[in-house]
Amino acid sequence: MVISFRYVKEIGQKKLDRNFNFVRSLEENVDKTLERIKNNLEKELKIKSKKKNNKNVESTQEIEKNVEVSVKLLKASNEISNQSFTDLLKYFEEDESQFQLVLQDDIFQIKFNSPWISNLSLPTSILAGFYVYPAKLDLEFTDRHSSEFIWYRGKMPKSQKESDFEWQEIGRGFSIVTKTEDIGHHLKIVAIPKSKNGDKIGPQVEAISKNEVNAGPGVCPFETRHLFTEERLSGKSIRVVSYNMLADYYADSEDGRTKLFNYCPGYAIDIDYRKQLLIKEIVGYNADILCMQEVDYKVFDLDFIPFLAEQNMNGVHDKKGTTPEGLATFFRTDRFDLIENCALNIGETMKTHDACQELFQKLQYNEKLVARITDLSTTLQIVLLRSKEFPNKFILVANTHLYFHPDADHIRLLQIGFSMILVTDFIEKFKQKYTTDDISLLFCGDFNSVPECGIYKLMTEGHVSENFIDWKSKEEEAVVNVSISQPFKIKSACGTPKYTNFTIGFQDCLDYIFYQTDKFEVIKVVEMPSEEELRAHNAIPSVLFPSDHVAIVTELNFIT
């Protein structure tokens, strides 16, 4: 049981304004709980006074004075004593209005399971022209959609005291877009928790930003791309985006800041800066299906899920092994139902999955090869969606981020080979389970493979022979007498752009949206940023690009 209340009290020059939370057992005697509340309040309300030591010496001594606090629990104006909370619980449920907590001369009406906000804070970085929303918001007995949020701006007063701010309301809702006139101001959010049916309102909580709103970086190149994705699609058309966001886990590492991305200013590599750009970019694409790689779980949980829910999107996240980043697939909830989803560690699955055994057994001659590929954390994410507009149509969305290493072309080719075996198996099983033949495949991801390598050949031509050069990318792990195939008619929706990854040390095409040509037709590909834009700040990420990858965006029509 949790007892929570906000207590505001002034005694002399002492002002108390804080939230109290007491975690107690339901079996505990009420008197013991009230004594604990009394002790905590008295500790907080101790008054410090100064006393001179003697008439001739200019020194003082601080003396603490105890404040006696009276704490009572009343039921219908009668004081409750020597009972457990379990004894009282049925009365709370029947009529909570008869219960009151009295602290000194302050009377608190007790609310049972009242809407409550236990944590609220704002981001450390807020840019003009970008979305701002709570950095942390922990709700109990309510949700974001039922609660009310009011935003204010104010200049830091000369006194530097929060109580002296003069606040001006600037917006309402879970998020707002800051404006140029907000620059130099602090923001405040007031959150009012309300029950889902509206019959209960909890105490409001507010949070003030630690830092002022800063000027944004100007027009980002992705905003030019947004001109081609202004409208949401409907009917037989869908917009698909694949994007490696560059995990904070890597960007903020020692290697990330000092070696890989040392050309990027420190503030621009910080996730609090980058995620503002990421959110604005993602929202502007108006995607129906969004596949992302290198998604930090904290960003998925605290940023993408709550914010994208406001855009009618939901998503699933699967970590890559023990690392705190992984794959995330989002979909528009007004267009699709999530039917099933799962994630498979490719290295582990190839050892045990029946469909993988024929290929896996062909590798047993090389212990080093088997040890390397089975030890990797590479993950295949499977998401089965059903169209709400065409309920007989399903889409199996596969999402992956294949292993990166210069000597691992053979490893990646095997990973995609096993992935396509698994995708084929899932599609066949889903066809039987849902009695349908209309399951279309979309396979998105960062494949860490350029168009000249075997992955692109397998996906677009359907076959890679045993003498293909990728099999020998590391001599002691060479793959011998192995060819792989996949049964689908597939193309790359965005073709092979010159660059989807652009750093100082590497620039090429690594990201693809593969689609079934007998299920979809491409109606639009959103143009990529120019090389001039990518090089404007040496490489990406930069103050204008939040990732070292560029999002690829396409529009497809169902073939009916």
Q: What sections of 228-365 are H helices per DSSP?
A: 248-251, 254-255, 266-269, 271-285, 297-299, 305-309, 346-352, 357-361
Residue 216 lies inside a defined structural domain of this protein: no
Domain of residue 249, CATH code: 3.60.10.10
pLDDT value at residue 7: 85
Residue 62 lies inside a defined structural domain of this protein: yes
% helix / strand / coil in the chain, to the nearest 5? 25, 35, 40
Residue 58 lies inside a defined structural domain of this protein: yes
Of 48, 83, 109, the residue at which a domain comes to its end is 109
Q: Which amino acid is at 88?
A: L
Q: Give the Cα separation of 225 and 285 in Å (integer).
A: 8
What percent of the chain lies above the pLDDT cut of 70? 96
Q: Give the Cα separation of 500 and 552 in Å (integer).
A: 8
* 55 and 192 belong to one structural domain: no
> 86 or 390: which carries more pLDDT confidence?
390
What's the number of domains the chain is made of? 3
Q: How do residues 195-232 score in pLDDT, each as one tens digit?
A: 988 888 998 999 999 999 999 999 999 999 999 999 99
* 102 and 126 belong to one structural domain: no
* 87 and 126 belong to one structural domain: no
Residue 70 lies inside a defined structural domain of this protein: yes
For residue 12, name the pLDDT band (cuts at 50, 70, 90).
low
Residue 215 lies inside a defined structural domain of this protein: no
Q: What is the pTM of this model?
A: 0.89
For residue 319, name the pLDDT band (cuts at 50, 70, 90).
very high
pLDDT value at residue 60: 54
Phi and psi at 511, nearest 5°, equal -110, 140
By the 10 Å C-beta count (0-12 exposed, 13-18 middle, 19+ buried), 129 is classed as buried
pLDDT value at residue 26: 87
Of 84, 109, 134, the residue at which a domain comes to its end is 109
Q: In this structure, what token pair is assigned to residue 176?
A: 């707002």
* 241 and 340 belong to one structural domain: yes
Q: How do residues 527-548 score in pLDDT, each as one tens digit?
A: 999 999 999 999 999 999 999 9
Phi and psi at 357, nearest 5°, equal -65, -35
Residue 317 lies inside a defined structural domain of this protein: yes
pLDDT value at residue 13: 65
Q: What's the mean pLDDT in 228-250?
A: 98
Q: How do residues 97-139 score in pLDDT, each as one tens digit?
A: 889 999 988 899 888 888 999 899 999 999 999 999 999 999 9
Q: Give the Cα separation of 380 and 400 in Å (integer).
A: 5
- Known catalytic residue at 508: no
* 39 and 22 belong to one structural domain: yes
Per-chain mean pLDDT for the chain = 93
| 2: pLDDT strictly greater than 90 | no
Among the ranges given (27-36, 455-464, 491-500, 506-515), the one the predictor scored with the smallest mean pLDDT: 27-36
Range among 17-21, 32-36, 107-111 rated most confident: 32-36
Task: State the distance between the two ends of the chain, measured CA to CA, in whole angstroms.
Answer: 57
Of 174, 208, 242, the residue at which a domain comes to its end is 208
Task: Name the strand (E) or helix (H) holding 315.
Answer: strand 313-319
* 181 and 42 belong to one structural domain: no
The CB-side HSE value for 559 (13 A sphere, CA atoms) comes to 12
Residue 325 lies inside a defined structural domain of this protein: yes
> 49 or 157: which carries more pLDDT confidence?
157
| 254: pLDDT strictly greater than 60 | yes
pLDDT value at residue 374: 98
Q: How do residues 502-524 score in pLDDT, each as one tens digit?
A: 999 999 999 999 999 999 999 99
pLDDT value at residue 64: 60
pLDDT value at residue 47: 57
What percent of the chain lies above the pLDDT cut of 90? 79
For residue 58, name the pLDDT band (cuts at 50, 70, 90).
low
Q: Identify the active-site residue in 248, 288, 303, 446.
A: 446
* 296 and 377 belong to one structural domain: yes
| 61: pLDDT strictly greater than 60 | no
* 420 and 474 belong to one structural domain: yes
* 201 and 139 belong to one structural domain: yes
pLDDT value at residue 472: 96
pLDDT value at residue 180: 97
Query: What DSSP string runs through 115-143?
Result: -EEEEEE--S--BTTSEE--SEEEEES--
Identify the sign of the CA torsion 155, 10, 202, 42.
positive
Nearest to 290 by CA among 424, 151, 215, 383: 383
pLDDT value at residue 95: 83
Q: Give the Cα separation of 484 and 419 in Å (integer).
A: 11
Residue in this structure with the two tokens 């049964």, named with its chain if needed: 487
* 331 and 435 belong to one structural domain: yes
pLDDT value at residue 240: 99
Domain with 92 in it:
2-109
For residue 8, name the pLDDT band (cuts at 50, 70, 90).
confident
Domain of residue 126, CATH code: 2.60.40
Residue 213 lies inside a defined structural domain of this protein: no
The CB-side HSE value for 502 (13 A sphere, CA atoms) comes to 23
Q: Give the Cα separation of 36 and 90 in Å (integer).
A: 23
* 86 and 153 belong to one structural domain: no
Q: What's the mean pLDDT in 322-334?
A: 97
Q: What's the mean pLDDT in 466-495?
A: 98
* 262 and 363 belong to one structural domain: yes
